[in-house]
Structure 1
Amino acid sequence: MRFAVDTGGTFTDLVVENDDGSCSMFKARTTPEDPVAGVLDALGVAAEAFGMPREELLSRGGILIHGTTHAINAIITGRTAKTAFITTEGHGDMLVLREGGRADTFNFTQKFPEPYVPRRLTFEVPERIYADGSIIKPLETDAVLAIIEALKEKQVEAVGVCLLWSIANSDHEEQIAALFEEHLPDVPYTLSHRLNPAIREFRRASSVVVDASLKPMMGRYMRSLEGRLRDAGFNGRTLVLTSQAGVIDAADAAESPIHIVNSGPSMAPVAGRFFAGQDSGISDAIIADTGGTTYDVSIVRKGRIPTSRETWIGPRYRGVMIGLPWIDVRSVGAGGGSIAWIDSGGLLHVGPQSAGSDPGPVAYGRGGTQPTVTDASLMLGHIDPDFFLGGSMSLDLDAAENAIRTVVAEPLGLDVASASDAIITIATESMVQAINDITVNQGIDPQEVVLVGGGGAAGLNSVRIARRLGCRQLIIPEVGAALSAAGALMSDLKAEYYGAFFATTADFDHEGSQRVLDGLGERCREFAEGPGANSFGSRTEFRVSARYATQVWDIEVPLRGNSLATQADVDGFIEDFHAAHKALFSFADPASPIEIIGWTAQVSCSFSETPALRLSSNEESGEPRARKTYFGDTGWIESKVFPFGYIEPGVEIEGPAIIENSFTTIVVDPGAVARRKPSGTLVIDV
């Protein structure tokens, strides 16, 4: 038995993979003040459904996979550890100057962003290494010892170290580490050549200080998670979702917490890729995960999930740069809990503010006063107030109606139904623009792909979104309400290793390049034989970061094999680079030489031979019924309401219709046709 838990802004999703391979889904309210309590609550709900004590359920589990927003929330809210930064003498402004980019080039009213680590906690150490690894100036040990005393005086809680060209020669960073171990043993630190040996100092430095700043808090969190699970009866292996669509051991997450900053959202594309291929046969897909707080969008291109090093928390150029590859996920503040409000000019907005789980939407009856997307869907008849979360939670229809009337309808001169429909329309437009940012702006035509909807609120307006985009089909998987948690059960134990070595196709260094690849491959083999020893199998993939000569930015291109030892290998890479560049930027330049500046090896170890596909018998069935629903084009109209479990494979359901279970409600707008596949997935022709 395996457990996958995804802690969202409103609900904590749990998917239990039973011993026979079937799945069961459960939800519990997220507890922001203590996320682990929400995990245990969800496990308690599951235990009750299985008719056994929570301790017994947990004792049957071999693996628990956890997705958390704890790290990213700490960065956003500034609740990270007091962190110092150590760098080469003369380069103390590395975090201040950044890379010089501006999103709004001529807007000089914007203040320059503050560095992640303040200048008063930045220390310069006398030393210097050349790009070829030769030492110009040896490290001054006395200066490091003086810095350590200053760190003690300032009560620093973590330290990030990034010296110039430590990626070519790590000797000085290792000397500093040895001094820390001896003279500052209780303060965690991160070294740039270990974490992110990549060219470009700011990105390397930023990743180092972010990682270090998270270590004290995430160390406590991971120890609390493992300890409380153990106390509750779980004796299996605790894994944590990473930003690269994989999992790592909780202890490793505590050691390198930067890898789990974007933990939860990275799993939705893993599940989306599987269901798109299985149920539509289309290798290009848009994955949209609608939670209570955010709408997370990702893509699948030709069966691959793109990653990006252009990862910022907050506005581009002004936010916090991670500097490590992430699954390319774009998020907007639009979800089931997004708040509707009127600005001073009388315009309606939805989000980015969210009611979250506490107090939640007005209809929850927990003190919320601002109308949300959930309240609007309730007023449109799309959500059954007596069957929310399978009837375990009743919604206050009158309170929702009063909030929408007071805050939205009366100021706009609309009736409550029209105002509610306007709220859904505005939310839909925000979601469509998020999809355009990741598709149209990258040369992908939404009309040529399939939209995969996931998350508890996905079904409320996914047909509207698909129509607005012109998508070929909409897919709602059977486990779509917990898409990220389901993706966790499909994910592999992963590790990525990086190398920095310059090579150009104008005069390719076969020997040097192969030396880097061999070294990365050996580290992958060690991982597969260590943490991945009990897996069903492992595979290693090599990628390079490359660019045309004189270009500033690079793109990542997979290598066809694990070798660039022959000219035929290099020719294959050149062909692939031109194709990738043309796909991204609509042009290629075959006459220009290509420069490789970074090397990546990723090892993946599978825990399951086949991914979780079907829900177990906890899926509701019953007879269809009918209720009045409102749509902008038709007004109030009677719609049939189908329990998800009632619909047999191949049966077509014509809209308007509502398909619901304990975890989600799927609105089939007039003119759309839904049918269920043998896999359990709902496919909607919009």
Structure 2
Amino acid sequence: MSRLITIDNGGTLTDVCVIDGQQVAYTKTLTTPHDLSRCLFDGLERVSHEVGDARSLPALLRTTDYIRYSTTQGTNALVQRVGPRLGLLVDDPRILEDLAREEETADLYAALVGSRSAVLDLGVDDETLEGELVTVCNRLAAEGASRFVISVGGPDGAVAERRIRDLLLAIFPRQLLGAVPLLFSNELIGGDDDVRRTWSSLLNAFLHPAMERFLFNAESRLREHRTRNPLLVFRNDGASSRVAKSAAIKTYSSGPRGGVEGTRALARHYGLDEVLMVDVGGTTTDLAMVRDGAVDIDWFGTVAGVTTSLPLARITSHGIGGSSVFHVTDGVLGVGPRSVGAAPGPACFGLGGTQATITDVLLLTGVLDSSTYLGGTFRLDVDRSAAAVRATIADPLGIDLPEALTRMQDTYAARMAEVLRTEAGPATTIAAFGGAGPMSICAAARRAGVPNVVIPRSAAVFSAFGIGFSDIGQTYRTAAGDRPDDAAVTAAIEELLAHAERDMFAENIAIADCELTWAVVDAAGATTPLGGRDDAARALKAGGRVQLQVVAVLPHPRLEDPVAISHTAFESSGTRAVADATGTRSEVPVVDLARQEHGAEGHGPLVVEGPFFTMFVPDGWTVAVSGSGDLLLTDIPGSSKEND
């Protein structure tokens, strides 16, 4: 049995999971943006005491087979525009015009490149081009460019870029050239639209420093503990690779992709045709769909509003979460998109927040208990919540506290249902997770007309857990020109295979031990599988673009086989006074998920306390524990329901 560690480094919290088959131990620690290695090793140290036998951190790391890591730091750098000044060399002035044509892209282009660009004349001989390159590079460096992106368009762009690379290496001493890193667009993305490819290369060059220093430092520190294998970076295409083999742009939004991979595993495990990921954080709710075991993909995904050459999971973010602020505007109650975040947080956190959130509402209505929140690691302040609701909602609306709480719950459920309806229908199963996912998903699902919900046992850290389903992989694309001859086709195929073999060798994996999948790429970026290398050669000969995907399968978490519902009643650990839709309080059972037998079931209303999460199951819903400890919920037709 392999031991796995998966880490999701977010802007507020860093989640760490240790996975031994079906056994999962995890913890959360505050992210330390000034020194990311601190929160990483704080989390590892803390979770090392959760896996039993009081193992020390060195012992945990030495007995772990693979460590997979996801970070948002590159994403944050892009949002804050904190990164290097880039110089851009192209062969066609129209590329420069198109990069800044739209208002949103113009702003980003100005921040990344500005005036540091040049157009090269590639029709001249090598000696003339050498002189032009010296002049251009010196000028861009003098203007502050610390990295150069070279993007040549057309079917022979890759060949032209190699020519420029050879000339630069010949005319600049390595010690000088090495001070200004070079990135060639066709090496990152073979073929494709010139503007998309150039944007992809610019973003990659900009994001690289934000992740480079930390990841290589973290890898070095882990190596000091004699880890079995190098640190793997989890990417937004669902695969993992060593730090040195991970393009920075592929770390963008990789955390949510971990949740997508976990959702796909749930869909496969429970035999579900259509599952909607609903990842509810403090500020946003992220949605992604898995249909027939496949993730919905945007073949030309967007990064910071810019269309790139990279296929990305179709993840949409909506401004509603556990820390979204309730507000009264012109006498109308609303919620979001503004959020109090983790600091100061909801009023009940007692950290100076004065705005009311759904967390405050659920505390005041009795769903949350002040002493058991986040497993008892964080005590909530009821009085501060009540004061916030009165001051910001009840008094402005001229109503009392109980009515304010009822309206707030109704408003939140209606807003979440509006979000769910953008993707879900009656045949959809919702997989809800994240810090705020389970808290009130049933009310929203009922309003949206979705009767089936799955809450993973590890809901609080499910994106980190989902990273464990990734494999080592790389994807390559190429074209051989409009009318290639047999020699050009053979050269293109051999180049792809050689690149793949080099990358896998760097992962200490033989290409013979990998799964190779060939596909043809259409004009919209979508792929159609091919039978093998010969089919790929025929596609190239016809002027098409070809993709090669190389995967080395790693150990994954094990989900236990589903068990039959035993109809054994849940074991209650007590009761809690919870207010209903009318504000009337009644005692409802409290169920500790860790103490329930697999196959046991219960009926709402009840409160479920899971590891680091609490959820309310309303009247009319049934809930059962699967063989993997997940919660399977069903809204029973004909039960008493609230109407929109």
Please indicate the TM-score interval, normalised by the length of the shorter structure: 0.7 to 0.9
* Aligned residues with identical type, % of pairs: 24
Which residue matches 2:312? 326
Pairing partner for 2:526 from 534, 538, 556 = 556
- State the SS of the aligned residue for 2:396: helix
Give the TM-score taking structure 1 as reference length. Answer: 0.81
Q: Say if 1:274 and 1:212 are closer, same or farther in 2 by CA, change over 3 A.
A: same
2:147 aligned with 1:158, yes or no? yes
CA distance in 1 between partners of 2:391 and 2:583 (Å): 25
Q: Say if 1:336 and 1:495 are closer, same or farther in 2 by CA, change over 3 A.
A: same
**Contact preservation (8 Å) 2:406, 2:583:** no
Q: What's the offset of the Cα at 1:266?
A: 0.7
2:563 aligned with 1:611, yes or no? no
Which residue matches 2:638? none
Which residue matches 1:541? 517
2:613 aligned with 1:664, yes or no? yes
Q: Say if 1:373 and 1:558 are closer, same or farther in 2 by CA, change over 3 A.
A: farther
Which residue matches 2:283? 293
- State the SS of the aligned residue for 2:28: strand
Cα deviation, 1:191-244, whole Å, max 9, x if unaligned, reads 101011232121111111111112222211212322444567756421111010
Which residue matches 2:546? 599
CA distance in 2 between partners of 1:362 and 1:502 (Å): 61
Alignment of 1:426-575 (within 5 A): 426-437=411-422, 439=423, 446-501=425-480, 516=492, 519-521=495-497, 523-531=499-507, 533=509, 538-547=514-523, 554-563=524-533, 565=535
CA distance in 2 between partners of 1:164 and 1:446 (Å): 44
Which residue matches 1:585? none
Cα deviation, 1:86-118, whole Å, max 9, x if unaligned, reads 2125346245444x6x9xxxxxxx996452556
- State the SS of the aligned residue for 2:14: strand
Cα deviation, 1:617-655, whole Å, max 9, x if unaligned, reads xxxx98421112234367533321100022222222111
2:325 aligned with 1:339, yes or no? yes
Pairing partner for 2:298 from 304, 308, 311 = 308
Q: Say if 1:542 and 1:427 are closer, same or farther in 2 by CA, change over 3 A.
A: farther
**Contact preservation (8 Å) 1:331, 1:434:** no
**Contact preservation (8 Å) 2:323, 2:357:** yes
Cα deviation, 1:590-633, whole Å, max 9, x if unaligned, reads xxxxx97533222221221x523379xxxxx9842111223436
Which residue matches 2:15? 13
CA distance in 2 between partners of 1:601 and 1:436 (Å): 36
CA distance in 2 between partners of 1:683 and 1:258 (Å): 36
Pairing partner for 1:238 from 228, 231, 240 = 231
Which residue matches 1:93? 96
2:363 aligned with 1:378, yes or no? yes
Tell me which amino acid in the other structure corresponds to 2:120: P
Moved more, 389-398 or 229-238: 229-238
2:349 aligned with 1:355, yes or no? no
2:377 aligned with 1:400, yes or no? no
Alignment of 1:109-120 (within 5 A): 113-117=107-111, 120=114
Which residue matches 1:366? 351
2:401 aligned with 1:416, yes or no? yes
- State the SS of the aligned residue for 2:109: coil
CA distance in 1 between partners of 2:128 and 2:550 (Å): 35
CA distance in 2 between partners of 1:233 and 1:612 (Å): 26
CA distance in 1 between partners of 2:408 and 2:264 (Å): 30
CA distance in 1 between partners of 2:220 and 2:402 (Å): 49
CA distance in 2 between partners of 1:232 and 1:352 (Å): 44
Which residue matches 2:161? 170
Where does the alignment leave 5 or more consecutive residues of structure 2 unmatched?
A: 562-569, 636-644
Pairing partner for 1:655 from 600, 604, 609 = 604
Q: What's the offset of the Cα at 1:328?
A: 1.7
CA distance in 2 between partners of 1:367 and 1:118 (Å): 37
- State the SS of the aligned residue for 1:121: coil
- State the SS of the aligned residue for 2:49: helix
**Contact preservation (8 Å) 1:510, 1:566:** no
- State the SS of the aligned residue for 1:376: helix
Which residue matches 1:283? 273
- State the SS of the aligned residue for 1:649: coil
Which residue matches 2:48? 47
Where does the alignment leave 5 or more consecutive residues of structure 1 unmatched?
A: 103-109, 130-134, 440-444, 548-553, 571-594, 616-620
Q: What's the offset of the Cα at 1:417?
A: 4.1
CA distance in 2 between partners of 1:283 and 1:303 (Å): 7
Q: What's the offset of the Cα at 1:430?
A: 4.5
